[in-house]
Chains A and B, each alone.
Chain A
Amino acid sequence: MDELFQKYRETGDVTIRNKIAEKYLYIAAVIAKKFVGRGVEYDDLYQVASLALIRGIERFDPEKGIKFSTYITPSIAGEIKNYFRDRARLVHLPRTVTELRARIRRATEELTAETGKNPSAAELAARLRVSEEEVVRAMEAGVTVSLDRPAEDGTSNYYDTIPAPDDGSIERMESADMLSVAVRGLNRRERTFLRLRYGEALSQAETAKRMGVSQMSVSRLERKVLAQIRENVRKDMS
């Protein structure tokens, strides 16, 4: 791996950087999971962590004798914390979040703006006229499972049970299955229309040009095909 880093530093070849990133992407996932439950979705955290990973790869110098995982972990954690500071206040809270949790977030924003520092639970409690205990409990309970607690097997934590970002193959299989039902009974011309209009995302005019027909014909064809698809799906689901 050090050779790859060295090679990347010498050549700046993005394919080498991407190879390194693939190898270490799990670190971004592990660290992002540690910060779940603070009002920002995992996917957003993972994205921030991944970008930090790539920036870290670009800066990392293997000749300094430090392991990459040791070097990158604080960088990723730092980026995530910056993200919380800069952006988390703007993220809409999930529907499942309790009213008190939402009020705590709002009060945190207000107090941070007023005092320039992150408020304590006591300050939040005073602002919201609730007990400190209620604030602490709302921050912890009823909002999200504590995913960084050890899992039942004792060898990992619950964050590790969150599925890793996959390549979307399952979604693709389901989509393909649904699609085969939807297009059942369509003739070749109608399928060609679908491929051009929705597969290649062409406009009606472009689709008409490719099919050698008028735009009006395409418009009629579209209504007919969509009606047929709706009917096929409805039958399949009933």
Chain B
Amino acid sequence: MNALMKVCFPIRTELMTTVRLMTGGLGSHVGLGVDDTEDCKACVTESLLMLLSAGYRSAELLFSEDDGLSVSVTGTDKTQNKVPMYEEEISMALLEALSEGFVIEKEAGVLRTLRFRFAL
């Protein structure tokens, strides 16, 4: 698996379009189809929403090339203030449905990292 890009950023509304553009660019770079690229963008945004609701203020995104695009989204800068998740179960099921190999990692029972992949 070749690491392509690693980015840390605050989970803020005004950066989401940039994150989606970056994801789209990397999808294009590895040769994903446009529909898979759109799904990947939705998964990245959904993951960030989940981390935000778990109380993280920042995130680290790691994109790797692996006969497709592998994405790891990790929450950083945790606060104690959890924002109620609007529909966590739906988000999880959606990520599972759209991507391949979706897994989450928890730390002391709290969501920490989400990983998923889109194959060529």
Q: Could you tell me which A residues sit within 8 Å of B by CB distance?
A: 27, 30-31, 34-35, 38, 67, 69-70, 73-74, 77-78, 81, 84-85, 104, 108, 117-122, 124, 132-133, 135-137, 139-141, 146, 148-152, 154-157, 160
Cα-based distance from A73 to B31 in the complex (angstroms): 28
Cα-based distance from A160 to B85 in the complex (angstroms): 13
A210 to chain B, nearest CB (A): 52
Contact pick for B28, options A38, A136, A157, CB 8 Å? A136
Q: Is the CB of B89 within 8 A of A150?
A: no
**Across the two chains, which residue of chain B brings its CB closest to A84?**
B35
Contact pick for A146, options B16, B25, B86, B90, CB 8 Å? B16
Q: A70-B93, A121-B34 are in contact. Are A34 and B13 (CB under 8 A)?
A: no
Cα-based distance from A149 to B93 in the complex (angstroms): 18
Cα-based distance from A169 to B32 in the complex (angstroms): 45
| A30 cross-chain contacts in B, Cβ below 8 A | 86-87, 90
| A67 cross-chain contacts in B, Cβ below 8 A | 89
**Across the two chains, which residue of chain A brings its CB closest to B32?**
A120
A111 to chain B, nearest CB (A): 10
Q: Is the CB of B33 within 8 A of A117?
A: yes
B38 at the interface (CB under 8 A from A): yes
A5 to chain B, nearest CB (A): 17
Q: Is the CB of A149 within 8 A of B45?
A: yes
Q: A31-B90, A119-B33, A120-B33 are in contact. Are A140 and B20 (CB under 8 A)?
A: yes
Q: Could you tell me which B residues sit within 8 Å of A by CB distance?
A: 11-13, 16-17, 20-21, 24-25, 27-28, 31-38, 41-42, 45-46, 48-49, 52-53, 83-84, 86-87, 89-90, 92-94, 96-98
B16 to chain A, nearest CB (A): 3
| A118 cross-chain contacts in B, Cβ below 8 A | 33-36
Cα-based distance from A153 to B69 in the complex (angstroms): 31
Q: Is the CB of A160 within 8 A of B20?
A: no
**Across the two chains, which residue of chain B brings its CB closest to A124?**
B34
A and B contact pairs by CB, cutoff 8 A, 27 listed: A27-B87, A27-B90, A30-B87, A31-B94, A34-B42, A38-B38, A69-B90, A73-B89, A73-B90, A73-B93, A73-B97, A74-B96, A74-B97, A104-B34, A108-B34, A120-B32, A121-B34, A133-B25, A137-B21, A139-B37, A146-B16, A146-B20, A148-B49, A150-B16, A150-B52, A155-B83, A155-B86
Q: A77-B98, A149-B13 are in contact. Are A136 and B52 (CB under 8 A)?
A: no
